[in-house]
Structure 1
Amino acid sequence: MAGFNMPQKPEPIWRESVSLPSFPALKESIKADVAIVGGGITGITAAYLLTQQNLKVVLLDANQILNGTTGHTTAKITAQHGLIYDELLSHFGLEKASLYYKAAEEAKQFIEHTVKENSIKCDFRNEDAYIYTNSSSYLKKLDTEKKAYDKLKIKGKLSDNMPLDLPIKGSLVMYNQAQFHPLKYLKALLEEAIKNQLTVYENTIAADIEFNKKTSIVTSDGHRITCKYIIAASHFPFHDSRSFYFARMYPERSYLVAGKQNEKFAGGMYINAESPTRSIRSANIDGKDMLLFGGENHKTGQGKSTMSHYEALQKFAKEFFEVEEIEYRWSAQDLTTLDKVPYIGPATKDNRTYLTATGFRKWGMTNGTIAGKILTDYITGTENPYFDLFTPSRFHADPAVKKFMEINADVAKHMIKGKLEFTQNNIDKLERDDATLARIDGKRVGVYKDKDEAIHMVDTTCTHLGCEVKWNSGDRTWDCPCHGSRFSYTGEVMEGPAKKPLTRIKANN
């Protein structure tokens, strides 16, 4: 695309501006009161709170802490989760819709209080949040959502304009929301938890759980963490425990680009109501005023070339904003539950020691924070008003049954389609930094040629339930269109529910 310098490597804006500590891998079997799997906002918030209760807490991450979904966020701290409140009122009623809003507001207040209490320098700033539209058909939806705000006593206002100079036909503001630098904030929480005797292990894969007289996590190296409670805060629950989470959620990818701004930003945080999504916020990174543009979401492993989504966001940035150059690009994966409300609490009805938090639907800063609070309260025996709303064992016929059938019909379609997909065997014509599908000895093989012309080949059958993965050109990964597992071009697991890597095929086969 003329006039655009696309960053070669997908890297989130947050990581370069903060120095994160590193931790060893677990090399022996240990004991703890609570073992947390996943070093993102839920895991670190829970560790911060639990260690204040003098509990022995261990935090594990399969890779490096804060390198998953939390490290790839837009970092909006808001209860404005798109056009959601009229829908919640329709499906859940006034009481539960009100609890959902109050949970998000409590999460925002917790973050703000924690920042002040610990003097955390994380660029926390209160901002109003806007949903806007340039579509006449969405004006009525904004009006309906404002009526839901009124019923729930949410402070907001409908208008035909907003501070940002974009072509719009209407907007809905939610006042006094916030934004911050997520890694600076969570690094501070982690340091406080470590002062309270938190133990952290990186590059340690939680492979299974043993439910005997005592509950234990079994790592991929065969070590055990014996504990009273396990928290699965690993984005997708690492142990399904016959709960079929892969059939009760669907994965979506979204994209972000960031560039230095040349004009004063009007303030506020923005997201449009229609598709494709356009999300906008500002940030100051190492003294530079930056603008972040997000959106272009689609179901993982499906749709057009992923690089085209980055290009669409770049075009939007150049068309409407004075942005010098796009310096960062990255993507994120999010899970949405059947009824759009996260699953937080005991993973199953019959086992109260294995807890989970998942399905945050792109709003992880508030949902992840309140999850840490709910799970801490559960472990310490403290009553929490949001427990029943978020419990993973809930089931509501409307809209859950329809969405369940829709998700799994889509899975079946892509499982069959992948097996029949066209492949070609002319690998010699493959360009550098590109990939193709081939048949080798009758087996469907994914072939990637790197920038040094080395060939990397993997069996494309997903190790979760056997769907065929697709090439993600924007992030150089193999993505499963059925349940969202993602693998590096050499086959390593990057996102669950898959636990095992793709089988590597020797290039001389």
Structure 2
Amino acid sequence: MTQNGQSFSEHPKSYWQDFIDFPNFPKLDQDIEVDVAIVGGGITGIISAYLLANEGLKIAILEADELMNGTTGHTTAKITAQHDLIYDEFITNIGKSKARLYYEANIEALDFIKKTIKEHKIDCDFSSQDAYLYSTTDEYAKKIEKEAEAYETLRIAGELVETIPLDINIKNALIMKNQAQFHPIKFLLNLVEIIKRKGGLIFENTTAVNIETGKPPTVLTRDGFRVNCKHVLACSHFPFYEGLGLYSTRLHADRSYVVAAKPKKPFSDGIYISADQPTRSLRSVNINGEEMVLIVGESHKTGQGEETIKHYEALESFGQQVFGLESIPYYWSAQDLVTLDKVPYIGEITSGQPNILIATGFRKWGMSNGTAAALLFRDIILRRKNRFKNLYTPSRFIANPSLKNFLVENANVATNLIKGKLQMTNINPETLANDEGAVITIKGERKGAYKDKDGQLHIVDTTCTHVGCEVEWNNGDRSWDCPCHGSRFSYTGEVLEGPAEKPLQKYDYKMIDNLTSEDSGY
């Protein structure tokens, strides 16, 4: 129980995935041939499939888990071009023209979603909302003033105000008019039905592990099946195939947290985000006919920082201060990737491989950036001109800030690699309470232990199967998280998020004296 009486003892659950009748799709069990293989069943993959199926192309979606069960199913579901304090920074780092293009790409994505909802009469709780970026300190008030100047320079319609319709004492706020929010799963499920009607193939529990390059390329699955195609779209959050792009060194993973709460005070219209740290993001949501609020924030690098349960408690405390909370029926977390210059990588995975395209690094703004990626993919495959292609090209390397961030992020990886190898504990796994996990030491070797609610122990090797960093226990989500590149594993060792492709090694505690892995045959 938290200090305010709310319980975070249950496993996190996203509201977006509740009360939804999800269709089931088969696992790929044979070699197939299509025009476009789309790896990843989130917003980018599904909209790409919808757009290309509309153009008469034969497509196949390969989803390692179930559709919309990744970042798309755990989003805040704001559709906006107001992406925190970003436009002043973009003007400095990438120039006015590209900063304006970034804004236009995200507004076009919003317009596409709005138009598609209207065209197909989709009931997905879509509503237009003004977006507010607010400050609570003098330091960030000045930054918002600079951001307002950037809006003016880039011809972005904005308004600087001194109050917002919430019980938060602010210094100032910057409004971007006519943004939106929606229920992403309801929206995408309608597109899935259209994809099916147009002959699109969808496979779940089908993990793509590699690409045989060439003309044409072939996607290889973990089960040994082949998808021959003309184009591959890697829409799998972290690229399942990196080629020579070195994306592990050019991306870092951040986690953030969401509580869906019933407030005592009414929530006004609008979508809100603080410029100050720690971030606080707010929007309304209707759950079973009751108006509730999503309280979001507490961003940190995956596998690093304090106990994750404290992030949920911090959001609850903030909600109590602002609204007073009656209950918290849902809470969950999300993970997103950030590029060196904060602009997503969308396009050819590396120079010279035009048939393999990636979309990654949406920096928590995947509803608009992910849609923009799908629109760009369509134009690249159909060889149409698209003015956003150079903006997003993955091969770019802008010295400022990319070089500095490249060095900082990779120094961080090296530090965590060494730190993890040196960390040992004296915890006896038998002393763990039910629903508790911890790093343990067995015969001088670092292992991870979790005792489930029935008292059964689950022991795994804590060495991440990506590049060998040591994972840390995430007590908020009951997972093992890698602090180097953001791979996440279930308490039984299965991969939840890449770039790792192989599970953690598992051990039978009853036979631990032999330290024999499950893979070795016991």
* TM-score, length-scaled by structure 1: 0.99
The answer for the alignment partner of 1:351 in structure 2 is 353
Letter in 2 for 1:393: S
Find the partner of 2:461 among 449, 459, 462.
459
Find the partner of 1:211 among 210, 213, 220.
213
- Structure 1 residues 225-244: aligned runs within 5 Å: 225-244=227-246
The answer for the alignment partner of 1:178 in structure 2 is 180
The answer for the alignment partner of 2:112 in structure 1 is 110
Paired residue secondary structure (1:409) = helix
Is the contact made by 1:423 and 1:438 (CA closer than 8 Å) also made in structure 2? Answer: yes
Separation of aligned partners in 2, 1:359 and 1:213: 27
* CA displacement at 1:56 relative to structure 2: 0.3
Is the contact made by 2:130 and 2:271 (CA closer than 8 Å) also made in structure 1? Answer: yes
Paired residue secondary structure (2:196) = helix
Is the contact made by 2:87 and 2:151 (CA closer than 8 Å) also made in structure 1? Answer: yes
Paired residue secondary structure (1:357) = strand
Find the partner of 2:278 among 269, 276, 290.
276
* CA displacement at 1:269 relative to structure 2: 0.3
Q: What percent of counterpart residues are identical?
A: 52
Is the contact made by 2:465 and 2:502 (CA closer than 8 Å) also made in structure 1? Answer: yes
Separation of aligned partners in 1, 2:257 and 2:225: 37
Paired residue secondary structure (1:184) = helix
Paired residue secondary structure (2:168) = coil
* CA displacement at 1:437 relative to structure 2: 1.6
Letter in 2 for 1:386: F
Q: Deviations over 1:397-454 (max 9, x none)?
A: 1110000000000000000000001322522211111112222233211011111110
Letter in 2 for 1:4: G
Paired residue secondary structure (1:14) = helix
Separation of aligned partners in 1, 2:268 and 2:57: 45
Q: Deviations over 1:213-240 (max 9, x none)?
A: 5311110000000000000000000011
The answer for the alignment partner of 1:287 in structure 2 is 289
Indicate yes or no: 2:506 matched with 1:468.
no
Q: Deviations over 1:35-55 (max 9, x none)?
A: 000000000010000000100
Q: Deviations over 1:151-170 (max 9, x none)?
A: 11111111110122211111
Paired residue secondary structure (1:17) = coil
- Structure 1 residues 367-378: aligned runs within 5 Å: 367-378=369-380
Is the contact made by 2:440 and 2:447 (CA closer than 8 Å) also made in structure 1? Answer: yes
Paired residue secondary structure (2:254) = strand
Paired residue secondary structure (2:259) = strand
Is the contact made by 2:129 and 2:180 (CA closer than 8 Å) also made in structure 1? Answer: yes
Is the contact made by 1:4 and 1:325 (CA closer than 8 Å) also made in structure 2? Answer: no
Separation of aligned partners in 1, 2:362 and 2:117: 23
Is the contact made by 2:424 and 2:446 (CA closer than 8 Å) also made in structure 1? Answer: no
Separation of aligned partners in 2, 1:286 and 1:47: 31
Separation of aligned partners in 2, 1:427 and 1:197: 52
Letter in 2 for 1:240: E
The answer for the alignment partner of 2:3 in structure 1 is 2
RMSD (Å), alpha carbons: 1.0
The answer for the alignment partner of 1:407 in structure 2 is 409
Q: Deviations over 1:270-319 (max 9, x none)?
A: 00001111000001123121110000000000000000000000111111
Letter in 2 for 1:418: G
- Structure 1 residues 387-402: aligned runs within 5 Å: 387-402=389-404
Separation of aligned partners in 1, 2:263 and 2:197: 39
Find the partner of 2:253 among 242, 251, 254.
251
Separation of aligned partners in 1, 2:156 and 2:214: 47
Is the contact made by 1:142 and 1:171 (CA closer than 8 Å) also made in structure 2? Answer: yes
Is the contact made by 1:256 and 1:293 (CA closer than 8 Å) also made in structure 2? Answer: yes
- Structure 1 residues 436-455: aligned runs within 5 Å: 436-455=438-457
Is the contact made by 2:434 and 2:451 (CA closer than 8 Å) also made in structure 1? Answer: yes
Paired residue secondary structure (1:352) = coil
Separation of aligned partners in 2, 1:440 and 1:2: 35
Letter in 2 for 1:53: E
* TM-score, length-scaled by structure 2: 0.96
Separation of aligned partners in 1, 2:305 and 2:363: 19
Residues 227 and 406 (structure 1), Cα distance of their counterparts in 2 relative to 1, 3 Å cut = same
The answer for the alignment partner of 2:22 in structure 1 is 20
Is the contact made by 2:266 and 2:323 (CA closer than 8 Å) also made in structure 1? Answer: no
The answer for the alignment partner of 2:197 in structure 1 is 195
| 321-330 or 364-373, which deviates more | 321-330
Separation of aligned partners in 2, 1:309 and 1:322: 18
Separation of aligned partners in 1, 2:477 and 2:427: 24
Find the partner of 2:483 among 463, 481, 484.
481
Q: Which segments of 5 or more consecutive residues in structure 1 lack a partner in the other structure?
A: none
The answer for the alignment partner of 2:323 in structure 1 is 321
* CA displacement at 1:18 relative to structure 2: 2.1
Paired residue secondary structure (2:354) = strand
Find the partner of 2:62 among 47, 60, 73.
60
Is the contact made by 1:17 and 1:286 (CA closer than 8 Å) also made in structure 2? Answer: no
Paired residue secondary structure (1:129) = strand
The answer for the alignment partner of 1:296 in structure 2 is 298
Is the contact made by 2:424 and 2:441 (CA closer than 8 Å) also made in structure 1? Answer: no
Separation of aligned partners in 2, 1:427 and 1:362: 36
| 204-213 or 466-475, which deviates more | 204-213
* CA displacement at 1:485 relative to structure 2: 0.3
